[in-house]
């Protein structure tokens, strides 16, 4: 199962590589696209759930790294939300 790293730029200008155990992130997100933070969070939940489901179907267990990616995204989103604006997250690209 191919692993994918997704390069994201957060609303505060920080950049991070996010891990996915599956190429599903390339189906959900587009390189160069910008997503409002709440939309990015929801799409990440969907992508990491589907990726973990694929791991479970193939190997018989859910992917702890996908769960860790989701937890990290949720923590960053909570830190960046200031009540007045959520900003946008840009997906800079992917790396396998």
What proportion of the chain, given as a percentage, has pLDDT over 90?
85
How many structural domains is the chain composed of?
Answer: 1
Res 16 pLDDT > 80: yes
Short-list 15, 25, 9, CA closest to 65: 25
**Domain around 77:** 4-95
Average pLDDT in the chain? 93
Strand partners, 17: 7
Give this prediction's pTM: 0.91
Q: State the Rg of the chain over Cα.
A: 13
Looking at the predicted structure, is the pLDDT value of residue 24 above 80?
yes
Instruction: Report pLDDT for 2.
Output: 84
Give per-residue pLDDT as tens, 34-69: 999 999 999 999 999 999 999 999 999 999 999 999
């Amino acid at each position: 199962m191919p692993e994918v790293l997704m390069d994201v730029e957060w609303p505060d200008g920080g950049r991070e590589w996010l891990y996915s155990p599956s190429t599903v992130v390339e189906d959900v997100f587009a390189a160069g696209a910008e997503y409002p933070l709440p939309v990015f969070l929801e799409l990440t939940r969907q992508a990491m759930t589907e990726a973990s489901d694929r791991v479970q179907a193939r190997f018989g267990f859910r992917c702890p790294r996908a769960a860790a990616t989701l937890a990290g995204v949720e923590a960053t989103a909570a830190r960046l939300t200031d009540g007045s604006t959520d900003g946008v997250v840009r997906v800079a690209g992917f790396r396998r």
